[in-house]
Structure 1
Amino acid sequence: MTDFIFPPHQAASLAIDGTDARFPVRRVYCVGRNYAGHAREMGSDPSREPPFFFTKPGDAAAVVAVAPGTTAELPFPPQTNNFHHECELVVAIGKGGADIAVEDAAAHIFGYAVGFDMTRRDLQNRMKDAGRPWEIGKAFDFSAPVGTVHPAATVAGIDNAAITLQIDGATKQSGHINEMIWSIAETIANLSTYFTLQPGDLIFTGTPEGVGAVQRGQTLVGHVDGLSDISVRFI
């Protein structure tokens, strides 16, 4: 028996629709600017240049499992005056692999969920301008709330599903998964050339246009057709 100097951190886990079993989280990967409209609003060219990725911590401080029908209350992050929402389809990996072929990518997917890639935009932009890493803008505590995971076999038409985000009942983001520059399968295949994917990995697949500021106390509701909504309030 290993003698730790303090108890090891408990791995984050997500609820799975239809069972009491849970999905243990390993790593969180995010795809940058994977919708043309969002690329334009961020001042970039939405051509099919190779996708780029960044990561967030995979521990419970960064990923918050939000049960359906509830609103999670999370702390508003410090050191920001421009806190942004980005609603995304999250792919939960159930089978690992490297150099995965596009046509084989679906076999590596356990399921799907809705998540928020929360961003301290002012800090991210400051790091960009200085040519420095983005971590303080993207990888802070509670920056990746995720809803219930739905097994892939129970989800129909995900490639054409609508995705929306509302703040206090007003729609701020609206698009469709088929508007991605790089498809779900292409994203998995490309990411697996840089990292060996493992069961428990999450992939945030990008956000449609309409990202914007979130104020303390506002309620965010993320929706993807066929999946459980996620509802979060930052206080």
Structure 2
Amino acid sequence: MSTPLYWIHGAQTPFALGQFVCVGRNYADHAKELGNTVPEAPILFMKPPTAYQPLRRAEVSTVVVPSSGGACHHELELALLIGRPLGPELIQHIPKDKPDALLATIAGVGLALDLTRRDVQDQLKAKGHPWERAKAFAGSCPLTEFVPTSQAGDLKRLRFRLVRNAQLQQEGHVGSMIFSIAELLREIASVFRLQPGDVVLTGTPAGVGPLEHGDALDLELTTSDFNVFGWQALVQSRSHFG
């Protein structure tokens, strides 16, 4: 089987599937709704390539969620496709007051659903255990095609939202992030070496909740010049992802 490729606006890119670096609690309203404190530094965790589920603009896609293990919540997030290597040896030469050099490593922007087994996560957190069983299971990251940064405009002005069964569930604005995109890239690259094909999930705004079999989802990404990119999906509950 060939290696899956990410897509940019309807065409395959040269970026093979990489790792997902995820950011927790990057919107104050989301931290509040779950009773969590606002972090002083980005909270980072990982998802493996097996977390990937594709969402395509040209069709109504399927979002598969596990049928066991309790509630599986949607967490809509802005996703960044890394197009150039970024690691500790590079960021030390990029001044903090010149974020454009960091933003230039982004090849495209899209949307992702950070699927979370909330009941499992709560149990793990209560025991002080890692979150992987709740966050990094197979298929835990439905991901759209990417919009090239050349079409996205000012990344600080991107907006996104999730509509579930014709009801607005989540709405986010990059300007409301606790840590900006540049700050996230600097922090992540100081810990993990980012390579082309890696994806950064930047955190979710308030409004997370459980997905049910048959739910109809509409995901929208609005650029700084008000171009809207949309994706549709139906939720299926399954015991496995094969």
The verdict on a shared fold, with TM-score over 0.5 as the criterion, is yes
Q: Does 1:92 align with 2:81?
A: yes
CA distance in 2, matches of 1:168, 1:22: 35
How far the C-alpha of 1:83 sits from its partner, in A, is 1.1
How far the C-alpha of 1:18 sits from its partner, in A, is 5.7
How many residues align? The count is 224
Q: Percent identity?
A: 33
TM-score using structure 2 length:
0.86
**Greater fraction of residues in strand:** 2
Of 65-74 and 147-156, more deviation after overlay is shown by 65-74
Amino acid at match of 1:15: W
* Counterpart residue number, 2:121: 124
**Tell me, which stretches of 5 or more residues in structure 2 are unaligned?**
237-242
* Counterpart residue number, 1:15: 7
* Counterpart residue number, 1:204: 201
* Counterpart residue number, 1:33: 25
Does the 8 A contact of 1:84 with 1:119 survive in 2? Answer: yes
Does the 8 A contact of 2:5 with 2:13 survive in 1? Answer: no
* Counterpart residue number, 1:172: 169
CA distance in 1, matches of 2:14, 2:148: 11
* Counterpart residue number, 1:107: 104
TM-score using structure 1 length:
0.89
How far the C-alpha of 1:98 sits from its partner, in A, is 1.1
Q: Does 1:221 align with 2:205?
A: no
CA distance in 1, matches of 2:26, 2:166: 26
How far the C-alpha of 1:234 sits from its partner, in A, is 2.1
CA distance in 2, matches of 1:86, 1:96: 27
CA shift digits 1:200-224 (9 cap, x unpaired): 1000000110111111110222222
CA distance in 2, matches of 1:157, 1:209: 23
Does the 8 A contact of 1:105 with 1:189 survive in 2? Answer: yes
Mark the CA change 1:36 to 1:217 in structure 2 (over 3 Å): closer, same or farther.
same
